[in-house]
Amino acid sequence: MVISNRRKRERERRASEIIDSAEKFFFKKGFTKTTMDEIAAELELTKPALYRYFTNKEDLFFAVVHRGSQILSNLMKEEADSRDIGLEKILATGYAYWKFYNQYPDYCRVMLDARNIYPECLDAPYFQKMREHGQSYLEIMFEAIEVGKKDGSVRDDIDTFLTALYLVESTIAIIKTSEATSDVLNLIGMTKADFIEHSLGLMGHSIQNRNYSADITIPKNGNPPHSKDSKD
């Protein structure tokens, strides 16, 4: 048993080292341009040795994506748990995406890249792990909407699951704003941060209960979104 546990720990340590090395290439070159040969060479391993830990390049790529997913999931839960009112919780999760984009741009980039290879990697073990985090994003948003319906801050005539899915996908699309859009924003003297703030605000207003009058905003000062009437 002791030997078995030691081997397990050694395997986990070695797998982590491989992911560390793969990160550098995927961050710099993306999925398509990175090869298993260069990752193996960096680690002074053979490709067959890599495949003892990861079934293919997709699996190794999603091991990197999984790390980013864990960080984002923790940020979303942290931000949502820091608020009491449902609508604030919802906007706080949007803020978490924004915070993730600013603090972990490399992870954000590979996570967005991962959406482009989705059909090719359904059998990759780490894809399944990453998928669990995708479900956790929806669960956090789902719960926030339900809280909002109960406390009166969110409309009660909207489908909770579909709204949660809409908010998550819309936020990802906003974060994924193209360089062309950024150029347009620059021409009118605005930044991507301005666009993200405005878009998250629109999403919040679209689901806000009309009878809930507190002014909820997403400030640029790095604090989670909150209403003027709420107490920290």
pLDDT per position as a tens digit, 42-82: 999 898 989 999 988 988 999 999 999 889 989 999 999 99
Listed by start position, the domains of the chain span 1-53, 64-227
172 pLDDT higher than 90? no
- With a CB cutoff of 8 Å and minimum separation 6, the contacts of 198 are none
Structure tokens at 101: 């984009």
Which H or E run includes 109? helix 105-114
Reported confidence tier of residue 194, pLDDT bands at 50, 70, 90: confident
* pLDDT given for residue 6 in this prediction: 76
Which helix (H) or strand (E) segment holds residue 151: the answer is: helix 125-151
**Residue 133 confidence (pLDDT):** 66
CA dihedral sign of residues 66, 72, 76, 79 = positive
Residue pair 39/101 in contact by the 8 Å Cβ criterion = no
Q: In this model, does residue 213 exceed pLDDT 90? A: no
Asked if pLDDT for residue 199 goes beyond 80, the answer is yes
More confidently predicted of 8 and 154: 154
What does the alpha-carbon distance between residue 167 and residue 138 come to, in Å, rounded to a whole number? 9
Tokens coding 59? 């699996």
Query: Mean pLDDT, the chain, as a whole number?
Result: 84
According to the model, what pLDDT value does residue 220 have? 46
Start-to-end CA span in the chain (Å): 50
More confident residue, 178 or 80: 80
212 band by pLDDT with thresholds 50, 70 and 90: confident
pLDDT, position 215? 60
Taking domain 64-227, whether its CATH number is 1.10.357.10 is answered by: yes
pLDDT at 227 over 70: no
Does domain 1-53 fall into CATH 3.40.30.10? Answer: no
- What is the rounded average pLDDT of the residues 80-86? 91
State what percent of residues in the chain have pLDDT above 90: 41
Please tell me if the domain spanning 1-53 has the same topology as the one spanning 64-227: no
From residue 59, how far is each of 27, 33, 54, 124 by CA, in Å? 16, 16, 6, 5
pLDDT tops 80 at residue 155: yes
> 10 Å Cβ neighbour count for 196?
22
- For residue 118, the model assigns a pLDDT of 63
Tell me phi and psi for residue 15, to 5 degrees. Answer: -60, -40
Contact 64, 184 (CB under 8 A): no
Structural contact between residues 98 and 36, judged by C-beta atoms closer than 8 angstroms: no
